[in-house]
Amino acid sequence: MKLQRKFTLEEICKIIDCNYVGEPNHFITGLNEIHMVEAGDIVFVDHPKYYEKALKSAATTIIIDKEVDCPTGKALILSKSPFDDYNKLTKYFTPYKPQTTVIGDDCEIDPSVIIYPNVFIGHRVKIGKNVTLHAGACILDDCTLDENIIVGPNSVIGHYAFYYKKKPEGFDRMHSCGGVYIESNVEIGALCTIDAGVSGLTRIGYGTKIDNQVHIGHDTQIGAHCLMASGVGIAGCVTIKNHVTLWGQVGCASNVVIEDNVVVYAQSGIGKDLLAGKTYFGSPCAEAKEKFRELVALKKLPNILDTLSNG
Residues catalogued as catalytic: 218
CA distance 31 to 197: 12
Beta bridge pairs of residue 156: 138, 193
CA distance 135 to 151: 9
Answer whether 173's CB lies under 8 Å from 159's CB: no
Nearest to 190 by CA among 227, 252, 144, 138: 138
